[in-house]
C-alpha cells in the first residue's frame, strides 16, 4: 500500500524561538499543539493520536496525551533519538492514519535546548551507544566535535572549502532576515563568517546551529478530511527511513556519502518524482557541511557539483533550488528538524511572506543524514493550492 497523497498536514503551530522560554517543555508542547489545532480548525476532541521524539529532553507522548485530556489514545509514538528521526515522527503518524489506526494525530518537538538540556552539555545521562565508552576518555563528546570530523574529510578531500561553508551560512542568514520568527536576522558577509571564532576546527561559530528554546507542532489527518478544514492541506507524497552506520562504524572507510544517498532512490520512487521536481528543500543543517553533502546525496545537484551550485547562488531564494528558506537551524532556530517541516508547509501553502518561493509545489524535508544514531529519514510534501 502506498502512502502517496493519502494523508495531509492540516495545521501548523509554533511557540516563540528564544534563549530562555521560562516554561517547561510540556508547556511549550501544549502551546504549539493548541496553535496547530486552531490553525487546522480542529479541537482537542478530534485528536486520537500523538507522536514525538526526543533525547530525554522533552515532554514524552504519554504525558502530553494525558495533559491534552485524550482518554483513549489510538496511536502513540514516543521515539527516543535525535535529529535523524525528525521526519519519522510525521511519516509514522501518516502511516497510522493511512492504515486506519488513527484519524487525527498531533506531532511535535518541544525543547529547552538553551536554558535547560544543552546538546552535549554536562549533567546529562550518557547516550545508549556502545561506542560512547571509547569517546569519553578523549573528551570527544559534543556534536560540534563529531561533525568536525565530517567537515575535515570534505575539506581535505577538496569537495568543499571555507568559502562554500561560509556561503551556506551567509545565504541562510539572508533568508532569516525575511523571516520575522528567526532568532538571528542581521545580515552576514563572507568576511563576517571568516572572522567568527573557531568552535572545533574546521567549524566556526557560524557553522553551528543555534541553541533554542521552542516547540513546533503539526496536525495530520486524511487528505479527504483535510480538504474540508480551515487551511489548504499539504499532502505527504512520500516518506522513507534509512541508515545503519554511524560516525564510528567499522564498515565505513569514508564518511561521505551519507546514509541519505542510499535512501534517496526509495524516497523519490515512493513519491513518483525525480530530484529535479523539487521546488524547495529544507535540509537538516545542524552544521554547514551537511547542506552541500545532502545536495549531492539526494541528487539535487550533479555529483561533485555542490560547491559550484552553492557559490553560484542556486540555493538562495530566487535560485534554482532555494534551501532552508526560513534560515534553517543556523539562523531561524533549532527545533530538532520539525521547524523544517513547518517551513515546507508554509511554502507549499503560499504562507511564507517575503521569503515565499514563487510557484513552490513540491518540497523535500530531510532529517540528520545518519551520522549520529545510525538512522536518517526524509519527507516529500506536495501543495494542493
Residues classed as catalytic: 284, 334
Distance, CA of 237 to CA of 7 (rounded, Å): 8
d(CA 7, CA 5) in angstroms, rounded, equals: 6
Q: Which three cell numbers stand for residue 348?
A: 507549499
Extended beta strands in the chain, E state? 7-14, 49-54, 75-80, 104-112, 198-200, 203-204, 213-222, 234-243, 280-282, 362-366, 375-383
How many beta carbons lie within 10 A of that of residue 75, not counting itself?
20
- CA 119, 122, 128, 133 dihedral sign is positive
Closest to 368 (Cα-Cα) out of 323, 326, 338 = 338
Instruction: Report the greatest alpha carbon distance in the chain.
Output: 57
Which has the closest alpha carbon to 51: 118, 3, 96, 1? 96
188 within 8 A of 169, measured Cβ to Cβ: yes
Half-sphere exposure of 209 (CA within 13 A, CB side): 32
Do the bridges between strand 234-243 and strand 7-14 make them parallel or antiparallel, or are there none, so unpaired?
antiparallel
Peptide bond into 257 cis (omega under 30): yes
- Report the distance separating Cα 73 and Cα 52, nearest Å: 14
- Find out whether 20 and 114 touch, Cβ atoms under 8 Å: yes
Q: What is the distance between the alpha carbons of residues 323 and 317, in angstroms, rounded to a whole number? A: 8
Q: Could you tell me which residues come within 8 angstroms of residue 290 by beta carbon, excluding any fewer than 6 positions away?
A: 147, 150, 283, 284, 368, 369
Residue with cell 566556526: 204
Residue 224 burial (C-beta neighbours within 10 Å; 0-12, 13-18, 19+): exposed
Amino acid at each position: 500500500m502506498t502512502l502517496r497523497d493519502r494523508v495531509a498536514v492540516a495545521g501548523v503551530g509554533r511557540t516563540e524561538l528564544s534563549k530562555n522560554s521560562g516554561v517547561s517543555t510540556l508547556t511549550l508542547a501544549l502551546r504549539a499543539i493548541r496553535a496547530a489545532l486552531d490553525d487546522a480548525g480542529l479541537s482537542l476532541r478530534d485528536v486520537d493520536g500523538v507522536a514525538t521524539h526526543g533525547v530525554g529532553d522533552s515532554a514524552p507522548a504519554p504525558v502530553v496525551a494525558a495533559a491534552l485530556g485524550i482518554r483513549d489514545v489510538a496511536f502513540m509514538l514516543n521515539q527516543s533519538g535525535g535529529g535523524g528521526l525528525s521526519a519519522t515522527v510525521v511519516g509514522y503518524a501518516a502511516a497510522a492514519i493511512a492504515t486506519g489506526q488513527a484519524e487525527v494525530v498531533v506531532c511535535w518537538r518541544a525543547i529547552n535546548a538553551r536554558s535547560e538540556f544543552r546538546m552535549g552539555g554536562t549533567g546529562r545521562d550518557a547516550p545508549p551507544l556502545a561506542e560512547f565508552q571509547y569517546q569519553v576518555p578523549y573528551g570527544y563528546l559534543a556534536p560540534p566535535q563529531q561533525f568536525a570530523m565530517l567537515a575535515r574529510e570534505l575539506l581535505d578531500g577538496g569537495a568543499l572549502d571555507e568559502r562554500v561553508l561560509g556561503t551556506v551560512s551567509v545565504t541562510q542568514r539572508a533568508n532569516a532576515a525575511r523571516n520575522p520568527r528567526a532568532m538571528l536576522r542581521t545580515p552576514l558577509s563572507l568576511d563576517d563568517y571568516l572572522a567568527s571564532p573557531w568552535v572545533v576546527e574546521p567549524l566556526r561559530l557560524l557553522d553551528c546551529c543555534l541553541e533554542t528554546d521552542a516547540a513546533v507542532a503539526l496536525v495530520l489527518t486524511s487528505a479527504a478530511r483535510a480538504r474540508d478544514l480551515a487551511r489548504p492541506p499539504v499532502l505527504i507524497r512520500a516518506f522513507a527511513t534509512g541508515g545503519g552506520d554511524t560516525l564510528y562504524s567499522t564498515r565505513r572507510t569514508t564518511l561521505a556519502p551519507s546514509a541519505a544517498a542510499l535512501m534517496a532512490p526509495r524516497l523519490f520512487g515512493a513519491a513518483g518524482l525525480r530530484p529535479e521536481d523539487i521546488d524547495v528543500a529544507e535540509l537538516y543543517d545542524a552544521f554547514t557541511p551537511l547542506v552541500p553533502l545532502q545536495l549531492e546525496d539526494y541528487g539535487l545537484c550533479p555529483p561533485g557539483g555542490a560547491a559550484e551550485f552553492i557559490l553560484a547562488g542556486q540555493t538562495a531564494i530566487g535560485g534554482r533550488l532555494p534551501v532552508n528558506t526560513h534560515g534553517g537551524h543556523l539562523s531561524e532556530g533549532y527545533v530538532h528538524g520539525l521547524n523544517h517541516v513547518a517551513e515546507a508547509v508554509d511554502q507549499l501553502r503560499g504562507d511564507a511572506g517575503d521569503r515565499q518561493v514563487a510557484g513552490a509545489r513540491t518540497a523535500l524535508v530531510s532529517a540528520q543524514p545518519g551520522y549520529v544514531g545510525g538512522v536518517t529519514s526524509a519527507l516529500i510534501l506536495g501543495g494542493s493550492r
